[in-house]
């Protein structure tokens, strides 16, 4: 049986800002249904790569395919509609809105009732649609165990809970591929354990393919199926966590270890 086509293909992607090379000829395939982690030292190009996938940046060279469709020049909102959700290294939620309203924003592109539908709200169409979307949102709220803050103003929550709200909004898109940029950053041990459990369940129970940037190597080793390492915008290793962490180049570039030369 032929191997299933990758959900995400990054082919020869380079990214330049003037004379600065953020990425150089990066190629990788992400398989459907896996947790794929991208690691590397600060400034290695990890977030730049995620930004190219989500549409915030357009590669200088190369192509990006989602389930075989070339999305290299596709607008960000169309990529969301195509099934890409993401969270950000720096929180990107609406601080003045409630948790429930923040998550409902993530359902926006799935809503079918437009202006005329809104005028006829009480005659059935839009009302029924909103009820269906609310049901989906409540399922996400239950999954992430944030029932107690559903009506709270997002900006008044603790950092860990705001990270959870941002994940909820990304989930609300119903993405086939979800991009997580440092989901554990700034969290204490208990919060990290909770987030790792949610990511595993997203993958195993909700069927989402996960591409994750993460600096916590314990988390990367525990939950990733495969790992790619970037250094100065170039891919230096790819494979299972065990194989990657045994790579001498990775240990020198990422972990800063002095590796004795072999005789």
pLDDT tens digit sequence for 44-90: 999 999 999 999 999 999 999 999 999 999 999 899 889 999 998 77
* pLDDT tens digits, one per residue of 128-153: 666 777 888 999 999 999 999 999 99
Closest by CA to 49, choosing from 221, 226, 230, is 230
- From the centroid of its chain, how far is CA 168? 12
> Is there a contact between 27 and 13 (Cβ–Cβ < 8 Å)?
yes
Domains by residue range for the chain, with CATH? 1-83+175-263 (3.40.50.300), 91-156 (no CATH)
What torsion do the CA atoms of 103, 107, 113, 114 make, to the nearest 10 degrees? 80
Phi, psi for residue 234 in degrees, rounded to 5? -120, 145
For residues 125 and 156, the model is more confident at: 156
Question: 116 with 212: CB under 8 angstroms?
Answer: no
Kindly tell me if the per-residue pLDDT of 259 is higher than 50.
no
The kind and range of the H/E element at 10 are strand 8-17
pTM of structure:
0.86
């Amino acid at each position: 049986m032929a191997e299933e086509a990758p959900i995400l293909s990054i082919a020869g992607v380079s990214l330049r800002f003037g004379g600065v090379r953020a990425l150089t000829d990066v190629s990788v395939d992400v398989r459907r249904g896996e947790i794929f982690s991208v690691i590397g030292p600060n400034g290695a190009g990890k977030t730049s790569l995620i930004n190219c996938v989500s549409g915030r940046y357009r590669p200088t060279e190369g192509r990006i395919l989602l389930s075989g469709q070339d999305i290299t020049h596709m607008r960000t909102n169309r990529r969301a509609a195509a099934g890409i959700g993401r969270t950000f290294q720096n929180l990107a939620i609406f601080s003045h809105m409630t948790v429930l309203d923040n998550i409902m924003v993530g359902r926006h592109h799935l809503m079918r009732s437009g202006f005329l539908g809104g005028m006829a709200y009480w005659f059935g169409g839009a009302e029924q649609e909103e009820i269906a979307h609310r049901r989906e949102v409540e399922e996400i709220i239950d999954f992430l165990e944030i029932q107690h803050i559903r009506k709270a103003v997002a900006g008044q929550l603790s950092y860990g809970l705001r990270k959870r709200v941002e994940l909820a909004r990304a989930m609300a898109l119903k993405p086939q591929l979800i991009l997580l940029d440092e989901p554990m950053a700034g969290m204490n041990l208990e919060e990290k354990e909770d987030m790792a459990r949610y990511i595993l369940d997203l993958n195993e129970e909700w069927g989402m393919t996960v591409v994750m940037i993460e600096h916590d190597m314990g988390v990367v080793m525990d939950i990733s199926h495969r790992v790619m390492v970037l250094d100065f915008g170039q891919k230096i290793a790819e494979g299972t966590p065990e194989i990657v962490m045994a790579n001498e180049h990775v240990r020198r570039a990422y972990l800063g270890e002095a590796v004795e030369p072999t005789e």
